[in-house]
Structure 1
Amino acid sequence: MPKAEMLEQVKTLLLEAGASRAVVIDTAAIDMLNEPGCGSCPELGQNISRQPTIPPLDVFHRELETYRQAVLFQVRVPVDPDNRNDAFRGANQVHDMVLDAEQFCQANGAGVRGIIATCCRLCRPCAGVGSPCRYPERIRSGMGAFGINVVETCSRVGWPLEFPVRDYVDWTGLVLVRGGGGA
């Protein structure tokens, strides 16, 4: 399958799975920080999908250079003022959607890396740094852990994010795609 067609099919797959919006982007639109964007996260040092257990940023930056295009997508979840933690279901949905998109790309001969919205939330609590992951084939890291500036990247495609969140959360995922069959 030609890469352009594959990217459009990934975009369609994500929209059909519940993404509120999705767009094919050049990886040059991804704004990179010089440090992880999760310095104040309470999961830092506790969650296996965060620093220091994932590759350093310079390793990810070199990997990112091997990709030219990606699909950026969001899942919008209403915030219930009486149960603010319920909004995290969108992060879990992004995780599942990334895994499905990866499987589709791999089945069609493309290299792929899926990046989720936040740290992995498959296990609550996480097994923790120094312990083996319970789901090593499903664990993914969040955009901030790789130094991706989510706010600026979304702004570059016309999706401004507002903080603090009030009525809804837009959880953002990224599917980097390399190669594939055809032109």
Structure 2
Amino acid sequence: MAGKVLKVYCDRMREAGATAVKIVHPSSVVTAPWVRMKCQFGCGGYDYGHCCPPCTPTAEETREVLDSYGRAMLIHIVSPATPDREKRLQKCFRSLVRVEEDLFKDGYYRAFVFLAGPCGICRQCGKITGDPCRHGDRARPSMEACGIDVFQTARNNGFVIETLHRENETRNTFCLMLVD
């Protein structure tokens, strides 16, 4: 029964721009300390925003959270290299946060979504000026910012994902909705 109910939310996520949504067990989600190092040494967003490390949970803390859930939805978004790619992704991310809110209202009070990449809500994060997050109701950390190995997690759940060689390639973006 629960799978049928969650299918409605999966359909909504596909309508919002997700290519595929798969109900998975959180034990298939891989966490590792090295993932945050990729943020620290390779991403200009490190320590720049409230949704980026070191403000986000460590891999160990994330593993503890994942282990407290019995279900999750792995969300795949194919992002072709078009001039409006980032705009389309941000629109999809906003929709995923709304689905999280609706899951909560429908009794899935533990629903929580991990998005992808740095938060794109504000032009400049309040963290830079020492201010709290202005959009805590909508801002969510990415899987990778919380130590989730997105590549292995996707592969564990039957998705094909490879590293990109050029910026103009189609991206395989993944998000994760925890739900119980």
Q: Shorter-chain TM-score: what band?
A: 0.7 to 0.9
2:87 matched residue in structure 1: 89
What does residue 139 of structure 1 align with?
A: 139
Report the AA paired with residue 30 of structure 2: D
Identity rate, percent: 23
- Give the Å deviation of 1:4: 2.2
Corresponding pairs, count: 173
Alpha carbons 2:50, 2:127 under 8 Å: kept: yes
- More displaced 10-residue stretch of structure 1: 107-116 or 58-67: 58-67
Q: Could you say what the CA RMSD is over the residues aligned between the two structures, in angstroms?
A: 1.9
Offset from partner CA, 1:94-124 (integer Å, 9 cap, x none): 4213212211211111121110011211012
User: Residue 58 and residue 162 in structure 1: after superposition, are their counterparts in 2 closer, same or farther (change >3 A)?
Assistant: closer
Equivalent in the alignment of 2:39? 38
Q: How far off its partner does 1:57 sit? A: 3.2
Residue 167 (structure 2) pairs with residue 168 (structure 1): no
Say whether the 8 Å CA contact 1:70–1:176 is kept in structure 2.
Answer: yes
C-alpha spacing 1:119/1:30, structure 2 compared with 1 (3 Å)? same
User: Any conservation in 2 of the 1:75–1:170 contact (CA below 8 Å)?
Assistant: yes
Residues 94 and 173 of structure 1 are in contact (CA less than 8 Å); yes or no, is this contact kept in structure 2? no
| Structure 2 residue runs without a partner (length 5+) | none
1:73 Cα deviation after fit = 1.0
- SS class of match (2:24): strand
Flag the structure with higher strand content. 1
Give me the whole-angstrom Cα distance separating, in 2, the residues matched to 1:124 and 1:6: 37
Instruction: Note if contact 2:115-2:141 (Cα within 8 Å) is conserved in structure 1.
Output: yes
Shift >4 Å, 4+ stretches: none
Q: How far does residue 90 in structure 1 lie from its aligned partner after superposition?
A: 4.2
Supply the distance in 2 between the matched residues of 1:33 and 1:93 (Cα, whole angstroms). 29
Structure 2 Cα separation of the partners of residues 127 and 29 of structure 1: 34
C-alpha deviation, 1:6, in angstroms: 3.0
Structure 1 runs not aligned, ≥5 long: 179-183
| Partner of residue 154, structure 1 | 154
Q: TM-score, normalised by structure 1?
A: 0.85
Q: 1:133 to 1:113 in 2, by over 3 A?
A: same
Cα distance, 1:26 vs. partner? 0.9
Partner in structure 1 of residue 118 of structure 2: 119
Higher normalized helix content (fraction of residues): 2
TM-score normalized by structure 2?
Answer: 0.86
